[in-house]
Structure 1
Amino acid sequence: MEKLDRLDYLILAELQEDARKSLREIAEKLGVAEATVYNRINKMRKLGIIEKFIPVINYSKLGFDLIAVIGISAEGGHVVELEDLLAKEPNVTAVYDVTGEFDVIAVAKFKDRDSLNSFVKRIAGLEHVKKTYTMVVLNVVKETHLIDIKKLLLEG
Structure 2
Amino acid sequence: MNRLDTEIVSLLIKNGRMSFAEIARRLGVTRAHVRDRVNALQEEGVIEQFAAVINPEKLGKTVSTFLDIKVAPQGIERVAQELADQPEIASLYIMSDMKSLHVHALTDTYERLHEFVREQVFSREDILSVESLTLLKRIKHRRGGLRL
Note whether the superposition's TM-score is higher than 0.5: yes
**Secondary structure, in 3 states, of the residue corresponding to 1:78?**
helix
TM-score by length of 2: 0.91
Residue in 2 that maps onto 1:10: 7
Work out which of the residue numbers 98, 105, 121 in structure 2 matches 1:108.
Answer: 105
Contact 2:63 2:110 in 1 (8 A): yes
Work out which of the residue numbers 34, 37, 40 in structure 2 matches 1:37.
Answer: 34
TM-score by length of 1: 0.86
Alpha-carbon distance change, 78 to 145 in structure 1, aligned in 2, over 3 angstroms: farther
Q: What are the equivalent positions in structure 2 for 1:87-126 lying under 5 Å apart?
A: 87-99=84-96, 103-122=100-119, 123-126=121-124
**Secondary structure, in 3 states, of the residue corresponding to 1:54?**
coil
Give the distance between the partners of 1:47 and 1:87, measured in 2 at CA: 26
Q: Does 1:76 align with 2:87?
A: no
Q: Does 1:24 align with 2:46?
A: no
Contact 2:80 2:92 in 1 (8 A): yes
Alpha-carbon distance change, 94 to 116 in structure 1, aligned in 2, over 3 angstroms: same
Give the distance between the partners of 1:10 and 1:44, measured in 2 at CA: 12
Work out which of the residue numbers 125, 140, 143 in structure 1 matches 2:141.
Answer: 143
Instruction: Tell me how many residue pairs correspond in the alignment.
Output: 145
Contact 2:67 2:104 in 1 (8 A): yes
Instruction: State, as a whole percentage, how many aligned pairs show the same letter.
Output: 27
* Structure 1 residue identity aligned to 2:90: T
Q: Which consecutive residues of structure 1, in runs of 5 or more, have no partner in the other structure?
A: 149-156
